[in-house]
Amino acid sequence: MPIIQLNRLAAIINGKFLCGQDVAAHVPVKTISIDSRTLADVSSCLFFAIKGVRHDGHDYLEELYRKGVRNFVVSTEDTPLVRYSDACVVFVPDTLEALRQLAATVRHGFHYPVLAITGSNGKTIVKEWLFELLQDELKIIRSPKSFNSQVGVPLSVWNMTENFDLAIFEAGISQPGEMEKLARIILPTVGLITNIGDAHQENFQSQAEKADEKLQLFESCELIIYCKDQELVHQRIHSKFGNEVSLFSWSFTDNSADLLIRAEKEATATTLYFKVNGEGTSVEIPFGDAASIENACHCLAFVLATNRLTEQVKRRFSSLQAVAMRLELKQGVNNCSLINDYYNSDINSLEIALQFLNRQASFGKQPQSLILSDIRQSGFTSGELARVVARLVKLYRVNRLIGIGEELWKHQALFAADAVFFRSTDEFLAHFRPSDFKNEQILLKGAREFRFERIAAFLQKKYHQTQMEINLNALVENLNRYKALLKPETKVMVMVKAFSYGSGTVEIARALEFQQVDYLAVAVADEGIELRQAGIETPIIVMNPEEHSFEMMLEYRLEPNIYSTEVFQQFDAAARRLAVSDYPIHLKIETGMHRLGFSSADELAVIARRVPEEGRLRIRSVFSHLAASDDSMHDAFTRQQYQRFKELSDVVVRTQPNPVIRHLLNSAGIERFADLQLEMVRLGIGLYGVAQSAALQVETVARWTTVVSQVKDVVPGETVGYSRKGRVEQPKKVAIIPVGYADGYDRRLSNGAGKVWVNGHICPVIGNICMDMTMIDVTGLAVHAGDTVELMGGQIRLEELARWMGTIPYEVLTGISQRVHRIYIQE
């Protein structure tokens, strides 16, 4: 990343100093930030206050000043920062455009090749695989993780330095008009388009329009690489560029393509046959799925088009691994939390991982430990790299550093005295014991060659092999898709009751708090207390409060749902005993569901009068539940509920001295009745990937997997399972998997009703499901002990699983036992 004096930087973005101009020539800017939650290097940081649809960076300026930030770019001249004598504030009309201009200026300072990758799918994987294939031949800088947005691209390009031979940047768009801005920043010399699919299609009139928008990225390119089998891509490239740019196409079927590839697939591997200079050759990849084969072909096309196919690169195709563009949060030994981010090793991803470590540790007030290997392809000399790492370790307040590798070991004098270093992973494993780690957050960050999975196995708490993987990025994406249906000022309450619909309460709550949701909702006080003890500060409402827990609720700042006069009197008495004042409560109104809630306007009027008179409590919100917002047959009834709620809630709202929030809509209501959103909505099952319409494009959050324990042949006439329900009439191959109804794999899925996904195939359950085991029919398939089995996820959809069980997705998710280990992943 460059270091630019603030006065020069202000000139680049055509900024006007509101204050601090006299010292700006002596202020070096090393880091750029747009997020007040991820700051570390406050002394040399420049904060761009960007205005979004729902959040405005200007709202956090004074908070940032208190944290130590002194340099700001703002788009409003009326800022309280000008009263601080040591603040440097630069005004521009548009802070996001200023950030783009800064990145574009940085880009113009370098003349090595820049590859830009766009497309609907596969951008990140192709980028990472090209890095794996070419990292020994070239020094490569690339986008961190999947930084490909209007903000992610300039932050990626900002990191360019003269120490590299090739830059690889992703570019993603969601609506017309965006790509021209990214193209101006990246200014690529080579372009690669992966494919055109349905992602973000709702914002384009046609796929052709979307393809033309994406291809704007390549207007500065000397070479464009694409798949000729994608007819739309082929047509639009030739229409737009004709003979003005060198084109390199590949195909599975078209002999006229520059590269013709024949793929021979096996269950878990594929050989790609092709010709180079008229001679046949091949590479093998360790994948059999169509998406991975396509991504590998894009990589092969780039390597051939740029004349970089050496024997060593060919061999590396066989060792490509599934891209771990994610952090995995697991439970470790001795009450530790283990964050796995190995096999993704560079300075940018290290800083992102340290931010995540910092956030997780701060919730539980736990010490932070970093186990780090040598970093390859950093663009620095080994001594420079060690200094950068030492600076990051200090900035992010890492309590213990364990360095592994010859380079870190060689420069250990640059680190604090309590850091320890080992030349190899084997040396570390020989020296440490699991008992050396207790009550701490541990980040594993290592290059592939150091095989940190051995350290993960050493430190991870041992579970049986059935687990549920929770994708926090998908959860956040779902949250944002629902937010897009709301007005910017509408608040969001998220339901985290029932173990967050089976996904794990504390970890989900941490992710939601980081996203700054307005409220969390739990079912009972114990769930709320657990969140408070884990460090969650977001307001929490208890939907089913019980009198025995009222004093604990007050102690832990949990806000009750008051649904009757009796409950109001009980909670008011507890508030009186603890001498509290102005304590927030929430009134539940019955509008047609006929569950909990006030039905009488007179009862509500009495409480509405008493609360402000007595001063112990404060009515924070009034709400009700919709009975059938997911069913169009009952839309008239839903609107009747809305009218009833407006009438009854007005009895409260108009009599209170404070603003009272009204909330009625659940997930289906947000989607189907956005015009009824009032001041707040309650998001539940939609957050976890169940929507009323595919148009909303919510993502599956949970993936439930297990492994094959044993495979055996069963001859005709034999039976499988209890009560001999699985009758075998033809020779069968049966696999046993370690999951049963005690794990939540419901017995209703027995005897073919349920199905699983193994090695690219759907396999039915055979026989009755047992308490801890299930048998599946894998006849004719290459299935072995240890193979992964998907019970629910990308291939076995939650809605399908619910349908096979004859129930609803809620029951499936909440029925998955807590003995099923949860793993949390995040980019």
- Contact assessment for residue 766 and residue 734, using Cβ atoms and an 8 Å cutoff: yes
pLDDT-based confidence at residue 258 (cuts at 50, 70, 90):
very high
Nearest Cα residue to 827 out of 326, 458, 445:
326
Let me know if 642 is a catalytic residue.
Answer: no
Count the helices and strands in the chain (H runs, E runs).
26, 42
- One-letter amino acid of 211: A
pLDDT at 737: 96
Asked whether the predicted pLDDT for residue 122 surpasses 60, the reply is yes
pLDDT at 768: 96
pLDDT at 384: 81
For the CA atoms of 341, 345, 346, 352, the dihedral, rounded to the nearest 10 degrees, stands at: 0
Asked whether the predicted pLDDT for residue 776 surpasses 80, the reply is yes
For the CA atoms of 356, 358, 364, 368, the dihedral, rounded to the nearest 10 degrees, stands at: 110
Rounded distance, CA 693 to CA 703, Å?
A: 21
Rounded distance, CA 148 to CA 173, Å?
A: 8
pLDDT at 364: 61
Rounded distance, CA 107 to CA 121, Å?
A: 25
- Contact assessment for residue 135 and residue 315, using Cβ atoms and an 8 Å cutoff: no
Let me know if 343 is a catalytic residue.
Answer: no
- One-letter amino acid of 392: L
- Contact assessment for residue 742 and residue 734, using Cβ atoms and an 8 Å cutoff: no
Mean pLDDT of 83-93: 93
Does 771 appear as a known binding residue? yes
- Contact assessment for residue 403 and residue 409, using Cβ atoms and an 8 Å cutoff: yes
Give the lowest-confidence range in 356-365, 590-599, 800-809: 356-365
- The pairing of strands 368-373 and 400-404 is parallel
Give the lowest-confidence range in 167-181, 362-376, 410-424, 807-821: 362-376
Mean pLDDT of 798-802: 93
Mean pLDDT of 475-501: 89
Q: Write the DSSP symbol of residue 376.
A: S
Asked whether the predicted pLDDT for residue 369 surpasses 90, the reply is yes
pLDDT at 377: 62
% of the chain surpassing 90 pLDDT = 65
Nearest Cα residue to 100 out of 76, 71, 73, 69:
73
Q: Provide the token pair at 636.
A: 């008239």
Rounded distance, CA 801 to CA 811, Å?
A: 11
DSSP 411-440: TGGGS-TT-EEESSHHHHHHH--GGG--S-
pLDDT-based confidence at residue 822 (cuts at 50, 70, 90):
confident
pLDDT at 534: 84
Which domains does the chain carry? 4-95 (3.40.1390.10), 110-317 (3.40.1190.10), 327-461 (3.90.190.20), 469-694 (3.20.20.10), 702-826 (2.40.37.10)
pLDDT at 373: 92
- The pairing of strands 719-720 and 726-727 is antiparallel
Rounded distance, CA 153 to CA 34, Å?
A: 13
Residues 6+ apart with CB under 8 A from 812: 744, 746, 792, 798, 801, 802, 805
pLDDT-based confidence at residue 163 (cuts at 50, 70, 90):
confident
Nearest Cα residue to 827 out of 152, 119, 53, 51:
152
Q: State the residue for tokens 């695989």.
A: 129
pLDDT at 700: 87
Q: Of residues 112, 463, 722, 810, which has the active-site annotation?
A: 722
pLDDT at 362: 66
pLDDT at 642: 96
Q: What is the pLDDT of residues 498-555, one digit of tens each?
A: 767 767 778 899 889 989 999 999 999 999 998 998 889 999 999 999 999 999 999 9
Rounded distance, CA 72 to CA 47, Å?
A: 5
Rounded distance, CA 266 to CA 175, Å?
A: 39
Rounded distance, CA 445 to CA 409, Å?
A: 16
Residues 6+ apart with CB under 8 A from 236: 208, 211, 212, 215
- The pairing of strands 710-714 and 732-737 is antiparallel
pLDDT at 53: 75
pLDDT-based confidence at residue 160 (cuts at 50, 70, 90):
very high
- Contact assessment for residue 762 and residue 801, using Cβ atoms and an 8 Å cutoff: no
Give the lowest-confidence range in 31-40, 541-550, 758-767: 31-40
Q: State the residue for tokens 């047992």.
A: 770
Mean pLDDT of 349-371: 81
Q: What is the pLDDT of residues 649-694, one digit of tens each?
A: 999 999 999 999 999 999 999 999 999 999 999 999 999 988 888 8
pLDDT at 333: 86
Residues 6+ apart with CB under 8 A from 225: 190, 191, 192, 193, 247, 248, 249, 250, 298, 301, 302, 305
What mean pLDDT value characterizes the chain?
90
pLDDT at 290: 84
pLDDT at 267: 64
Rounded distance, CA 670 to CA 491, Å?
A: 12
Element (H, E) at 311: helix 311-317
pLDDT at 206: 87
Residues 6+ apart with CB under 8 A from 467: 704, 705, 706, 820, 821, 822, 823
Rounded distance, CA 620 to CA 587, Å?
A: 8
End-to-end CA distance of the chain: 21
- Contact assessment for residue 543 and residue 521, using Cβ atoms and an 8 Å cutoff: yes
Give the lowest-confidence range in 54-68, 170-184, 217-231, 367-381: 367-381
pLDDT-based confidence at residue 561 (cuts at 50, 70, 90):
very high
Residue 67 or 99, more confident: 99
Rounded distance, CA 92 to CA 74, Å?
A: 6
- Contact assessment for residue 589 and residue 648, using Cβ atoms and an 8 Å cutoff: yes
Q: Of residues 123, 127, 497, 588, which has the active-site annotation?
A: 497
pLDDT at 145: 73
pLDDT-based confidence at residue 379 (cuts at 50, 70, 90):
low
Burial of 429 (0-12, 13-18, 19+ CB in 10 A): middle
Radius of gyration of the chain (CA): 29
Burial of 364 (0-12, 13-18, 19+ CB in 10 A): middle
Q: Provide the token pair at 13.
A: 């973005």
Sign of the CA dihedral 340, 345, 348, 350?
positive
Interior/surface letters 743-753, b for 16+ CB within 10 angstroms, e for the rest: bbbbbebbbeb
pLDDT at 35: 86
- Contact assessment for residue 744 and residue 819, using Cβ atoms and an 8 Å cutoff: no
Interior/surface letters 539-571, b for 16+ CB within 10 angstroms, e for the rest: bbbbbebeeebbeebbebebbbbbbbeebbebb
Nearest Cα residue to 799 out of 810, 786, 784, 814:
810
Residue 138 or 288, more confident: 138
pLDDT at 353: 84
pLDDT-based confidence at residue 704 (cuts at 50, 70, 90):
very high
Nearest Cα residue to 734 out of 719, 714, 759:
714
Does 468 appear as a known binding residue? no
Give the lowest-confidence range in 7-16, 204-213, 792-801: 204-213
| 86, 500, 508, 667 from 702: Cα distances, Å | 48, 11, 12, 18
Q: What is the pLDDT of residues 426-479, one digit of tens each?
A: 999 999 888 889 989 999 998 878 888 888 888 887 666 899 999 998 999 999
Residues found in the chain = 827
Rounded distance, CA 645 to CA 664, Å?
A: 8
- Helix then strand then coil, in percent of the chain rounded to 5, is 40, 25, 40
Q: What is the pLDDT of residues 54-73, one digit of tens each?
A: 788 999 899 899 889 999 99
Nearest Cα residue to 223 out of 194, 259, 181, 193:
193
pLDDT at 231: 93
